[in-house]
Chain A
Amino acid sequence: MSNLIDRRAPENTTPFVTGLADAVLREIAELLDTLIETGETGIIDLHSLPMTDADRDMLKEGLGEGEVRVDLDVAGPSRIEETGTAGVWWVRHEGADGRIAAELIEVTRIPEILLSHPDDIREGRTRLREHLDEAGETGTEELAE
């Protein structure tokens, strides 16, 4: 039975350049104009575009390689890289199994997910205060002994 089944993967049906990389690069250029002139940030969802591998390579080549690379460990890994075009970030979120959950181009000074959230800062302060209070009580007890 098993020799009757062709286990080869289907032939690659899209090894061509669709022109999407060029369209995305032009959109990025416009988003950079907006960022410079008004400070408004922009995002493009790459996951929703039917890009081929060749398109993706063209897009990467067009943006170049930058100098900042950040790895996050938040509900699975994420990699955030600034491209060679300053202000243009390539954000890739994965689940724990390595599957891409979201892939975005962010046009901004820094992607929002890198900033500490005010609620997390408040929670951190609370924990630190509690720790200091506990340490203070222990220290007082030790001194009393």
Chain B
Amino acid sequence: MTKDRTLGEHMSRRGISRRAFGKYCAYLASTMALSPKMAPAMAQGLAAARRQAVIWLSFQECTGCTESFTRSYSPTLEDLIFDFISLDYHHTLQAASGEAAELAREQSMEENKGKYIVVVDGSVPTKDGGVYSMIAGHTNVDILASTIENAFAVVAVGTCAAFGGLPYAKPNPTGAVAISELVGNKPLINIPGCPPVPEAMTGTIAHILAFGSLPELDDKHRPLAFFGESIHDRCYRRSFYERGLFAKSFDDEGARKGWCLYEVGCKGPIAYNTCATTKWNGGTSFPIQSGHTCFACGSPNFWDQGGFYKSLPSRTSSIGTVAGATAAAGVALGAGAALIAANRKKQYSKET
């Protein structure tokens, strides 16, 4: 598409009306717990935006994050994000290879100076001069440094990029570090998960396009819209936790009745992610709904937490208490969610 054309003009020429923007932003606002009254303004912002140049760097990773990103649930609505961005460099998806591929990256950096977004998946090895992962004769450390120099922002997707992930796990033979260790003061968003929920990735990028700014982040640089609440807070099995009804093994009566999986090692109380609400595979399910525990795969050091099936040390620490009765728990959770949404609404109102 012509680079000076707005997304609204671009989509219009493809026969896609502004109603599609309105619908997409209604969906986005709902997913990000923003006020639904902001959807028209978001749609306006998105339609007026230019296509966003994105350079995707893959370091010590397994390509699971890309698999997740390209499997956003809806073949129509959610796929709009791929019309909104220009993915100028991506090892797995680009047709070019060798010098032509590196040239594409350099051209995009030059043409979009100060405006492009760098998405990184994978951690970066730093031991022995960074020789454990090299691309086109350059270490990951050098490629990252040169690529982010004129970037608008860096988005670290997946737990490897956000917190080191599997390569960082003991004994960390390659000296792997998270992207946050190497970006200095460059604006950084972490979207952890192994892999991350696709909607968390696409929603964050769409937010940047619609508002021209980064979404609200927590102290670990994660967007609050997707990582503001724990899996435990939003788990449909929480009422069993409150009543003290636990599965003791994966095939006992409690497991069959769908009771809380805390005692078989569920890390939901320390896992901040959006799986319990956004879910996976087109909203089909998430691990706990499928009868398994949460690994807290979006948390720092999740590989080194002493075992996926080992219960957390205390049932009461760092876990919010709500009224014991199931009904009361439901209302209290709803009120909490409403309060968080209201606070976000206030903060966004100030921004816009």
Contacts and interface: CB of A to CB of B under 8 A. Distances in A.
Interface in B241-260: 251, 255-258
Contacts of A123: 12
Interface stretch (B69-77, B100-108, B121-129, B169-177): B69-77
A31 B258 CA distance: 39
B131 interface: no
Contact of B17 (A13, A52, A93, A120): A120
A34 B269 CA distance: 41
A137 interface: no
B30 A95 contact: no
B37 A43 contact: yes
B334 A16 contact: no
B53 to A, nearest CB: 24
Indicate the size class of the contact surface on chain B: 35 or more
A19 B73 contact: no
B240 A117 contact: no
B75 A47 contact: no
Nearest to B21: A117
Given A10-B258, A48-B33, A101 B74 contact: yes
B62 interface: no
A8 B248 CA distance: 19
A145 interface: no
Given A74-B23, A119-B8, A43 B36 contact: yes
Interface string B255-280: 11110000000000000000000000
Contact of A97 (B18, B73, B291): B73
Interface stretch (B133-141, B180-188, B310-318, B325-333): B325-333
Interface in B10-30: 12, 16-20, 22-24, 26-27, 29-30
A13 B291 CA distance: 14
A16 B326 contact: yes
B22 A112 contact: yes
B342 to A, nearest CB: 11
A5 B323 CA distance: 34
Contacts of B236: 10, 13-14
Interface in B289-342: 289, 291, 326-327, 330-331, 333-334, 337-338, 341
Interface string B189-230: 000000000000000000000000000000000000000000
Instruction: Kindly list the 4 A-B residue pairs having the minimum CB-CB distance in the complex, ordered from nearest.
Output: A95-B74, A10-B258, A117-B18, A101-B27
Interface of B: 8, 12, 16-20, 22-24, 26-27, 29-30, 33, 35-37, 40, 47, 73-78, 80, 236-237, 239-240, 251, 255-258, 282-283, 289, 291, 326-327, 330-331, 333-334, 337-338, 341
